[in-house]
Amino acid sequence: MHDEELFKRFTDQNTVILAVAKEDKDLESHAWFYGHFQPQPRFRLLADLDHQTSRFRETSVYLIDKEGVVRDIFPGTVRTRPNWLAVLEAVKVVNGK
């Protein structure tokens, strides 16, 4: 499946994807890390400079519902290219679809 088609499936579910990068030491290293994604991701990549998301050692994708409750965590998914269809299915479950 093409990235554009997959991204449309997420937007059809009224879903925003945010990834949290834990590897960055400062905003410069974060910008470098983000700039080296090929192709550029269609989601926002946030930097956890204070290591507030200490449950996992690497970048993770968090599924957070509209009330702000973390419903699922996909650890290490940005670097290892997740099974986005599995993430999409989890979104559907949260959305009740």
Q: What tokens does 62 get?
A: 């968090």
The pTM (predicted TM-score) of the whole model is 0.60
Per-residue pLDDT of 32-85, as tens digits, reads 877 776 666 667 778 888 877 766 666 677 788 888 888 888 776 555 555 778
Confidence of residue 2 (pLDDT cuts 50, 70, 90): low
Helix, strand, coil % in the chain, rounded to nearest 5: 35, 20, 45
**66: Cα within 13 Å, side-chain hemisphere:** 6
Residue of 8, 39, 83, 80 whose CA lies nearest to 72: 83
DSSP assignments along 42-66, one per residue: SSEEEE-TT---TT-SS-EEEEE-T
Task: Report, in angstroms and rounded to the nearest whole number, the Rg of the chain calculated over CA atoms.
Answer: 13
The per-residue pLDDT for 39 is 65
Structure confidence at residue 82 (pLDDT): 59
